[in-house]
Amino acid sequence: MKIYKQKLRDVWLQMEEFRAWLRRDPDDSYRAHCRFCKCCVNTKISDLRAHASTKKHMKHLNLKQQIKTTDDSPLNRSSASSSSTTPYKVKVKSQPKTSPVKKEKISASDQSVDYEEIIENLALYEPEQVMFSSCSLTGGGEQRLEDDVEGEGEMSTISIMDEEMVNKAVANALRTQKDSSQIFGDFVADRLRQLNTDASEFAKDKIMKVILEAASIDRAPTYN
Q: Domain ranges in the chain?
A: 115-219
**What is the model's pTM?**
0.31
Q: Distance between CA atoms of 39 and 22, rounded to whole angstroms?
A: 10
Specify the 3-state DSSP secondary structure of 39: strand
Upper half-sphere CA count for residue 85 (Cβ side, 13 Å):
0
Within 8 A by CB and 6+ apart from 36, the residues are 20, 21, 57, 60, 61, 64
Phi, psi for 72 (deg, rounded to 5): -90, 0
Q: Distance between CA atoms of 168 and 83, rounded to whole angstroms?
A: 56
Q: What is the mean pLDDT of each run of 10 residues along the chain (224 residues)?
A: 68 82 81 84 82 85 75 56 52 58 50 56 47 41 47 57 71 65 81 89 90 83 61
- pLDDT, position 202: 92
Q: Give how far the C-alpha of residue 63 lies from the chain's centroid of Cα atoms, to the nearest Å.
A: 27
Give the max Cα distance, the chain. Answer: 87
What is the enclosing helix (H) or strand (E) of 2? strand 2-3
Of 1, 23, 4, nearest in space to 161 by CA: 4
